[in-house]
Amino acid sequence: MSTYPDPDVLYPEVAAHGSLAAALRAVAVEQGLSVPVSGTESRSMYNAVVSTAVPHREELRGSAWHAERQWAIWGGERAQGLPLIQGETLDLAQIVRAAQAWHDGVPLTGIARVAPFVRLTGRFEVPDGDPARLIESEWLCLRKEAAEVDWPEHHALIEAAYAEPALRQYYPFKSHWTLRFSTSIRPKLTIVPVCILAGLGEDYTVSAGYRQQHLGETATAEDAVALAVRNLPADFTLG
């Protein structure tokens, strides 16, 4: 059974204040800020949350790693519970600056400017929860992620699918890196029975669903997308 370092040793400044929330509040005072931080019911040395004045944002979650010294944040949107910002840092002051900006409603790019450790997921904020805009936001997230991973075949697949209007109209998501589609947004997905998987320097595989009927293989992402479109059911429309 693995054991973790003593949190009092790993995070002495947090231990001195009794909780991560209290430590963040103390750092905020030092910086002339007033961040509304509260602790969680369990493992207060490791977790804290920051409220927000923006209705479509969730509370910002702050956490400490157990195995090594590192803090992380996660900020999501309420419509689907998906992250808009993430990041890891060794500097509590950076966490505080990000938390203040999140609470105050600073735009996502502005949060990344005041706290450079923050990573944008590619999703943009959709205050009114418009499904069409959330679909567009999710495509941007997938495209950003695909451009950053060392998998050119997967990147080519995402770009080819996005370029195809018949697929771009759907809400995209991944299951074990298989590109899938839905006629509705999270949390209640209505799955379109076609999906595409990129190989590692090999062919692209199109099927009727994850680990379901095999529809064919192609040598290029564009051909895989075309095959997927030919197998789209006529009655699967956005709803």
The chain-wide mean pLDDT, for the chain, equals 93
Residue-wise pLDDT for 109-156, tens only, equals 999 999 999 999 999 999 999 999 999 999 999 999 999 999 999 999
- Give CA separation, 199 vs 70, 73, 150, 214, in Å: 35, 33, 13, 15
Domain assignment of residue 71, given as a range = 7-120
51 and 141 share one domain? no
12 and 116 share one domain? yes
Residue-wise pLDDT for 32-76, tens only, equals 998 999 876 556 999 999 999 999 999 999 999 999 999 999 999
- Give CA separation, 204 vs 88, 162, 207, 218, 223, in Å: 34, 16, 10, 5, 9
Q: Which among 94, 120, 146 is the end of a domain?
A: 120
Residue 1 has pLDDT above 60, yes or no: no
User: Residue 125 falls within a domain, yes or no?
Assistant: no
143 and 208 share one domain? yes
User: Residue 235 falls within a domain, yes or no?
Assistant: no
> Residue 197: what are its φ and ψ, rounded to 5°?
-125, 130
14 and 115 share one domain? yes
How far, in Å, CA of 171 to CA of 239, rounded? 11
How many domains, in total, are found in the chain?
A: 2
2 pLDDT band, cuts 50/70/90, is: low
- Give CA separation, 149 vs 25, 39, 118, 141, 153, in Å: 36, 35, 18, 13, 10
116 and 21 share one domain? yes
> Residue 211: what are its φ and ψ, rounded to 5°?
60, 35
Range in 137-146, 190-199, 217-226, 228-237 the model is least confident about: 228-237
Alpha helices (runs of H) in the chain, residue ranges in sequence order: 7-10, 12-17, 20-30, 92-104, 108-114, 131-148, 152-162, 165-168, 221-230
Spatial contact of 23 and 92, defined as CB atoms under 8 Å apart: yes
Residue 202 has pLDDT above 80, yes or no: no
User: Residue 59 falls within a domain, yes or no?
Assistant: yes
26 and 111 share one domain? yes
Residues near 78 by beta carbon (within 8 Å), at least 6 away in sequence: 55, 56, 57, 58
pLDDT at 3: 84
pLDDT at 40: 64
150 and 202 share one domain? yes
User: Residue 219 falls within a domain, yes or no?
Assistant: yes
User: Residue 2 falls within a domain, yes or no?
Assistant: no
pLDDT at 239: 55
Residue 236 has pLDDT above 90, yes or no: no
